[in-house]
Amino acid sequence: MSENGTGTAENEIENMNLEDNHDKPSENVDVDNNLDDVVNPWNVSSSSAKGVDYDKLIKRFGSSKIDDVLIARIEKLTGKPAHHLLRRGIFFSHREMHHILDLYEKKKPFYLYTGRGPSSTAMHMGHLIPFLFTKWLQETFDVPLVIQLTDDEKYLWKDLQAEEAKQLALENAKDIIAIGFDINKTFIFSDFNYIGQSPAFYMNMVKTQKLVTFNQVKGIFGFGDSDCIGKISFPAIQASPSFSSSFPQIFNNRKDVPCLIPCAIDQDPYFRMTRDVAPRMGYQKPALIHSTFFPALQGAQTKMSASDPNSSIFLTDTNKQIKTKVNKYAFSGGGDTVEEHKEKGGNCDVDVSYQYLTFFLEDDDRLAQIKKDYSSGELLTGYLKKELVEILQKIVGDHQQRRKNVTDEVAYSYMKPRKLDFNY
């Protein structure tokens, strides 16, 4: 067990004992074969060039695979085509999405909850993924959204002063707002700011703390004897926004509005714990929809890191930086020479530029054509990278333009506890 509270694969497997039968993994899972992939809130790595084996992860975590039936149901109920991140299996796993769709079908309310740990000013392209998808969910289902900025978490885990973490939360809120969330339907809060103002939130935190033992959080998160008690009790803080009673101003004191949490699967341990305690608190379990990881430029074995600027594209990068990083660092699945590439073709499964296109090139036909031409060797790595650079420059450039208009005042107005445009 690590000193800094980093979970291990074994810890997560132990954690599955926390869940109810519905979410228990198949008894036939051979856990030992899966230990090469490490997926937890602090570390995501795999020994395979193709990255994490997500099918195995579903079994290990005891979640459900997003299948064609679920996607077709979403399309039928909403009358909208599924988002490309859903169609392409990037959002690949869920817990109780059908329950959320049942509610939607019966015109019963639910809300969305997601978050960000503000560890640096620069968010990377991977952080955009859950937020882009959350925006689509919000627009498609027309529901309230709460976004938690865990400045307290980053203060506890990183070498940051409390005030610095709080400032980073404000800066990250501006990036999130620039993605285009509707101010009338979205509440963004920093833990340092909101929790002290909300007795209801605090009460849910403490109720959660009473229901989870030290042994259980050790099992789930890998905390050790020398971890500070702030870390040990932090999971209760990330759990509490899953309960509508934590936001009496939005839900008119209702404690029965269920929530759906979009996130990458690294955050799932928090919510396995939350799902375990919820019924014992008289609340509904949060539903979840999980994404895979946007890979580091160097390849799918690693998670991107804000402390390594060359590991990814950041929302603060210039056009020139984007071009240089993609050309220099994006791991290529192409042949070593033009001749070899033309003869054997490129390998899209490991090619990072191609992987990035699957996240950000929305045109299905174009993507399929690129895959065909790259795999056959007709298209060279250079062309693939050129196409990617143009797409990323546009997304990042447009984002930077929108962010310029997000002043401190705009951010504070999203972060003010208030009623949203929904009646309960």
Q: Is residue 127 close enough to count as binding ligand TYM by CB under 6 A?
A: yes
Residues from 222 through 241 that contact ligand TYM (CB under 6 A): 238
Q: Is residue 191 close enough to count as binding ligand TYM by CB under 6 A?
A: no
Residue closer to ligand TYM by CB (options 145, 380) is 145
Closest CA to 189 of 423, 419, 422, 412: 412
Residue of the chain from 51, 62, 130, 222 that contacts ligand TYM (CB under 6 A)? 130
- Mark residues 148-177: x for contact with ligand TYM by CB under 6 A, - for none: x-x--x------------------------
**What letter represents residue 160's amino acid?**
L
Q: Is residue 216 close enough to count as binding ligand TYM by CB under 6 A?
A: no
Residue closer to ligand TYM by CB (options 23, 268) is 268
Residue closer to ligand TYM by CB (options 174, 341) is 174
* β-pair type (111-116, 145-149): parallel
380 in Cβ contact with 338 (< 8 Å): yes
- Cβ neighbours, 10 Å, residue 414: 20
203 vs 7, 109, 206, 210, CA distance in Å?
Answer: 27, 23, 5, 11
Residue closer to ligand TYM by CB (options 63, 114) is 114
Burial of 309 (0-12, 13-18, 19+ CB in 10 A): middle
Residue with the shortest CB distance to ligand TYM: 117
Q: Which residue has the tokens 């973490």?
A: 165
Residue of the chain from 294, 356, 374, 414 that contacts ligand TYM (CB under 6 A)? 294
Q: Is residue 117 close enough to count as binding ligand TYM by CB under 6 A?
A: yes
Q: How far is the CB of 278 from ligand TYM (least distance, A)?
A: 15
Residue closer to ligand TYM by CB (options 11, 375) is 11
- Alpha carbon distance 162, 379 (integer Å): 50
402 in Cβ contact with 164 (< 8 Å): no
**Residue 248 CB-half CA count within 13 A:** 10
Per CB under 6 A, the segment of 1-9, 126-134, 220-228, 246-254 that binds ligand TYM is 126-134
The DSSP-derived string for 294-324 is PPBTTBTTB---TT-GGGS-BTT--HHHHHH
Per CB under 6 A, the segment of 21-29, 92-100, 287-295, 324-332 that binds ligand TYM is 287-295
Beta partners for residue 45, in sequence order: 38, 302
Closest CA to 291 of 81, 132, 107, 117: 132
DSSP 255: S
- Cβ neighbours, 10 Å, residue 59: 18
Q: How far is the CB of 299 from ligand TYM (least distance, A)?
A: 13
Per CB under 6 A, the segment of 26-34, 99-107, 121-129, 244-252 that binds ligand TYM is 121-129
Q: How far is the CB of 185 from ligand TYM (least distance, A)?
A: 17
Residue of the chain from 7, 62, 115, 258 that contacts ligand TYM (CB under 6 A)? 115
Q: How far is the CB of 242 from ligand TYM (least distance, A)?
A: 8
Q: How far is the CB of 414 from ligand TYM (least distance, A)?
A: 16
Q: Is residue 92 close enough to count as binding ligand TYM by CB under 6 A?
A: no
Residue closer to ligand TYM by CB (options 34, 274) is 274
Q: How far is the CB of 157 from ligand TYM (least distance, A)?
A: 9
Residue closer to ligand TYM by CB (options 113, 187) is 113
Per CB under 6 A, the segment of 3-11, 108-116, 243-251, 333-341 that binds ligand TYM is 108-116
Size of the site for ligand TYM (CB under 6 A): 24
Residues from 362 through 401 that contact ligand TYM (CB under 6 A): none
The DSSP-derived string for 114-173 is EEE---SS--BHHHHHHHHHHHHHHHHHT--EEEEE-HHHHHHHSS--HHHHHHHHHHHH
Burial of 398 (0-12, 13-18, 19+ CB in 10 A): exposed
Residues from 238 through 277 that contact ligand TYM (CB under 6 A): 238, 261, 263-264, 266-267
- Alpha carbon distance 397, 389 (integer Å): 12
Residue of the chain from 84, 116, 207, 341 that contacts ligand TYM (CB under 6 A)? 116
Residue 44 neighbours by CB under 8 Å, 6+ apart: 38, 52, 266, 293, 302, 303
Would you tell me which residues interact with ligand TYM (CB under 6 A)?
Answer: 41, 113-117, 126-127, 129-130, 148, 150, 153, 238, 261, 263-264, 266-267, 291, 293-294, 303-304
